[in-house]
Amino acid sequence: MTGFALGAEQEEWCGQLRALAADRLRPLADKGEPGRVNRPLLAALGELGLLERVFTSGALELCLLRESLAYGCTEAETALALQGLGAHPVLASGTPEQRSRWLPEVRAGRAVAAFALSEPGAGSDAAALALEAVRDTGGGADRDGGGWRLSGEKCWISNAPEADFYTVFARTGEGPAAKGVSAFLVPADRPGLSGEPLDMLSPHPIGRLSFDGVPVGPQDLLGEPGRGFRVAMDTLNRFRPSVGAFAVGMARAALDATLAYTAARRAFGGVLGDLQAVGHRVAEMATRTEAARLLVYAAAGAYDAGSPDVPRRSAMAKLLATETAQYVVDHAVQLHGAVALQRGHLLEHLYREVRAPRIYEGASEVQRTIIAKELYR
């Protein structure tokens, strides 16, 4: 890839993914129950080798994968991304035993992963989390002693309460704020762990988790005690550009639908696309989408190159791409008119899907704060 265009092989792969999403994955997504984990869809992603790609791809390839799946089936894209988000800390910071137990199951689509960072009082301000890990001298999950008991709540956790394991961030107290957070791998069947679904604008499950003295031991740690916030930020820095890619995929789908509709819809003695106001609107939608796409690819390329400015680039990519997708989908709905508001219409679906990415994995305001801090560093 140059700085401005994909190579022929990359373009061909993206085209194959878009077709696969529409022909193979879309029918499975349509059979799923809103707000529930679609395990047949996950199994298909595993069978097709796409979940494996989440863990073996560089950041750019992950962006191309997410963008292409989002174009044809947002549910498949989200299911794939949540597996990566929940299990990447295991890949990056887990023990050999944790990796061998869980990663093959995640890659096959048999085990559902979840990333449990947010809390009722700690969403955008992730360093303010309050889930407490108290030393358990009686042993807890660690038969040799030296474990912890987790007490508190997590909220707005994707795939909860249906996940098979959770990457959980808790305050172990080695230092103030972010310096006193540790990461744990917590299987869903651990005593004291319960959850309930939340009724939200989302096609996948989002829930609340309650920790009532949940036992965890040193063997459940992901990385070192007190270094859990770094585990979280490393995961988010990897996935933020690809959240932007998800948004770009939705924007491109909305743009293509608008081009087709305005080129055929007759009104005022011609077609809508002949009207200057419409043509200019579509031109703006296309320009913003292309700018977002290039910024996402640049951020992914910086991550793959080990660039020191990854936090800034990742934040810029997520910010611009998610805000752009909101703009493009909204204007696509406006140009389609009432037809786009019918249940089941592509744009009705995208209109519901496009809002959440401006909030999760760091709201737009958080991304602006990150960018400003990096610029003034």
Task: Just list the catalytic residues.
Answer: 361
Rg (CA), the chain: 21
What are the residues whose beta carbons fall under 8 Å from the beta carbon of 175, sequence distance 6 or more? 226
**Token pair 């080990």 is at which residue?**
306
**Residues 6+ positions from 313 with CB-CB distance below 8 Å:** 241, 295, 298, 299, 302, 303, 307
- Through-space distance between the first and last CA atoms of the chain, rounded to whole angstroms: 31
Q: Which residues pair with 148 in a beta bridge?
A: 135, 216
Residue 328: half-sphere exposure toward Cβ, Cα within 13 Å: 33
Can you tell me the distance from the alpha carbon of 75 to that of 205, in angstroms, rounded to the nearest whole number? 11
Which residues are CB-contacts of 68 (< 8 A; sequence separation ≥ 6)?
Answer: 13, 14, 15, 17, 18, 21, 249
Q: Is the peptide bond before 161 cis (omega within 30 degrees of 0)?
A: yes
Q: Are 182 and 227 in contact (CB under 8 A)?
A: yes
Round to whole Å and give the CA distance between 135 and 132: 10
> Among 124, 220, 99, which residue's Cα sits nearest to residue 167?
220
To the nearest 10 degrees (0 to 180), the angle between helices 96-108 and 74-93 is 170
How far apart CA 241 and CA 23 sit, in angstroms, is 26
Q: Is the dihedral of CA 156, 158, 162, 166 positive or negative?
A: negative
